[in-house]
Amino acid sequence: MTLSLRGFEERRLALVLSGGGASGIVQVPFLEELIRRQIRPDMIVGSSVGAVNGAFLAFHPDNIEGLADLWIALRDTRLWHRNLLRITRNLLTRGTSVYSNRFLRDLFSQHVTIDEISA
C-alpha cells in the first residue's frame, strides 16, 4: 500500500511489531483488523515475538486465525513453564537470556518452509 499525502511524496507503509513475550497474542487482534480493512504493509519489521508474528503474517497473510491458534496452543506448552533452577543455570551459563529460543525455532520451522523463505 502506498500513501499519498498532500505536500509529501508517496510513502511506503511499514508495520513495526515490538517484542515482549505476552505481546505476541495481544498483537493478533490488531493484525486481524489490518487484514479486515485490507491494509497490506509494504514491509514488516519485528523484534523477538514481533518478528515471529511479522513472519507469520508475511508468509500467511490470509490466515491470521492460524496465528491466533498458534498462540493459544502455546499457552500450555513448556515454553512458559518456569523452573527457578533452570532459569538460574541459564543466566549463569548464557549470561544474556533466561529462556532458550530452541523451542520457538523448532515451532517456527514447522510452520514456515525453506521455499517460503527463499521466495
Task: Encode pLDDT of 60-112 as tens digits.
Answer: 888 888 888 888 877 766 555 567 787 777 778 766 666 666 766 777 777 66
In angstroms, the Cα distances linking 3 to 11, 57, 99 are: 5, 21, 40
The answer to whether the beta carbons of residues 44 and 14 sit under 8 Å apart is yes
- Name the pLDDT band for 18 (thresholds 50, 70, 90): very high
pLDDT at 44: 95
The answer to whether the beta carbons of residues 66 and 56 sit under 8 Å apart is yes
pLDDT at 46: 93
All cell numbers assigned to 118: 527463499
Mean pLDDT of the 33-58 span: 91
